[in-house]
Amino acid sequence: MPEPYRVVSMLIEAIQGDITGLEVDAVVNAANSALAGGGGVDGAIHAAAGRYELHAACAAIGHCDSGDAVATSGFRLPARWIIHTVGPVWHGGNHGEEGTLASCYRRSIEVATELGARSVAFPAISTGVYGYPPDAAARVAVNTLRSLAGTAVVDTALLVAFDARTLSIYRELLGEG
């Protein structure tokens, strides 16, 4: 068997906008462990993809642990796939939050690699209702993605900020500040 195709580097870019409109191979959803749909980016993705179809696909999978990731079709999104990952709820930072958040990025890239997705867009996982401080979360996102460069078929990881503050945090960490 030939070795699967590997790229040697992964471009990590920060942009501001609505993740549901992006023309990427896969968008990551900040889901809950019941994959039941919710507010925030989860609600936006369900609305744009098609609530009925996405709900049925999520119900067929049933559950996802914190720090893990599962994939469905993107249905009516421009993206071909949705990778649902479950971030940690922030409880002050001494409850394994950082490891779980890093695992979300790592597992999402692993699932993207299994799918053959070359471009993947991430929302700022856990920084909404789950309460993770945005700058600490951004550091975990950038460091984890950097550590995965060269291990995945993913050649472009987009960090999608919904607000200007999150964008400036990403830009500073990526050396674009």
Q: Does 40 bind ligand ADP (CB under 6 A)?
A: yes
Question: Segment contacting ligand ADP (CB under 6 A): 18-26, 76-84, 143-151, 169-177?
Answer: 18-26
How is 58-77 classified by DSSP, letter by letter?
Answer: HHHH----BT-EEEEE-TTS
Between residue 103 and residue 162, which ones bind ligand ADP under the rule CB under 6 A?
A: 123-130, 160, 162
Q: Does 18 bind ligand ADP (CB under 6 A)?
A: yes
d(CA 165, CA 119): 24
- Choosing from 18, 25, 42, 65, which is the catalytic residue? 42
Contact 82, 54 (CB under 8 A): yes
Kindly list the distances between the CA atom of residue 69 and the CA atoms of 24, 31, 84, 105, 166, in Å, as whole numbers in the listed order: 18, 9, 5, 9, 23
Number of residues that bind ligand ADP (CB under 6 A): 20
Nearer to ligand ADP by Cβ, of 67 and 123: the residue is 123
Catalytic residues: 42
